Amino acid sequence: MKKQWSAIVALAAIVLASTSSTASAVTWNYSGHVETVYGNGLVFGLGDLVTGTITFNENATTLRAGSSLQNFIYDDALTYMTMGPFLVTNGGVYPDLAVMNIYSNSGVFQDDGFSFGWQADNNATEIFGFAPHAGGSVVTSLAPPVTPFDLSLFPGRIIRRIIDGDGFDARLETLTIAAVPEPSTWAMMLIGFAGVSFARYRQAVRRRASVAR
């Protein structure tokens, strides 16, 4: 039992130490209801709820060639993304297409916006938002955000999946940080479980000793 206790404490120490050495990642949950259906809708119909997750590396710094002072495209930001039953990327699927794009004061209408996912030719699996004529007033930082955008600032908000003419557009209604325990919390839980187990072990030893008497 002492060896098990020592192993658990050592594991907790490793988890605690990893907080300062691993890349910081955050997961967002998003949802919205389908407003437009194309072709067969790809398993979704009008009014259906679409949910998904986005996990990205907050320390992403690799900018795609062609990025500018107004349009930042991060190649290594998205580490995992789903849209309903569909996998958008896991780092191995569409690694060259699935990106995070944040732009400010860009285009003819000088709009601000963001997008997560990928698009190629007429196909797309992405969520995006835009604020027409914002002129840089909405997106004030082009660095990867620690918290989700305030969706109320983006009148245009869409969840889109279109493959060879079939798919849907849903209105992006929520974008929130998933409640995931910090590494330090996991470490404290491990120590707590170990403490409870050790206490029960001591009680069992005392019972056996009293019976033996």
Indicate whether 132 and 166 sit together in one domain: yes
CA distance 18 to 5: 20
For residues 112 and 187, membership in a common domain is answered with no
Tell me if 77 sits within 8 A of 103, measured CB to CB. no
Residue 205 is predicted with a pLDDT of 57
Chain position carrying tokens 């060879």: 164
In a domain, 147, yes or no: yes
Helix (H) or strand (E) holding 199: helix 183-212
- Report yes or no on 14 lying in a domain: no
Rounded to whole angstroms, the Cα distance separating 43 from 46 reads 11
**Residue in the block written with tokens 């027409």:** 132
Report DSSP letters for 10-79, one per residue.
Answer: HHHHHHHHHTTTSPPEEEEEEEEEEEEEETTGGG--TT-EEEEEEEEETT---BPTT--SSEEEETT-EE
CB atoms within 10 A of CB 56: 22
* Residue 191 structural domain: 2-8+183-212
In a domain, 33, yes or no: yes
Report the alpha-carbon distance of residue 128 to residue 109 in Å, rounded: 16
Residue 13 lies in a domain: no
| Total count of domains within the chain | 2
- Whether residues 40 and 140 share a domain: the answer is yes
- Asked, for residue 54, whether it belongs to a domain, the answer is yes
- Same domain (yes/no): 134, 113: yes
100 and 189 housed in the same domain: no
Whether residues 187 and 173 share a domain: the answer is no
Half-sphere exposure of 170 (CA within 13 A, CB side): 27
The answer on 112 and 207 residing in a single domain is: no
Same domain, yes or no, for 202 and 130? no
d(CA 191, CA 195): 6
What pLDDT score does 211 carry? Answer: 58
pLDDT at 98: 87
> Would residue 17 count as lying in a domain?
no
Q: Tell whether 96 and 148 lie within a shared domain.
A: yes
Looking at the fold, whether 154 and 208 belong to one and the same domain comes out as no
Question: Which mean pLDDT values do the consecutive 10-residue runs of the chain (213 residues) have?
Answer: 53 48 76 98 97 89 85 88 94 79 83 90 92 86 66 93 97 85 52 57 63 60
Residue 60: both structure tokens together: 């992403």
H-run or E-run covering 183 = helix 183-212
Q: How far apart are CA 97 and CA 25, in angstroms?
A: 20
Residue 195 included in any domain: yes
Residues 147 and 124 in one domain: yes
* 87 inside domain: yes
Question: Does residue 75 sit in the same domain as residue 126?
Answer: yes
| Helices 2-18 and 183-212, axial angle in degrees (round to 10) | 170
The pTM score is: 0.72
For residue 178, the 8-state DSSP code is -
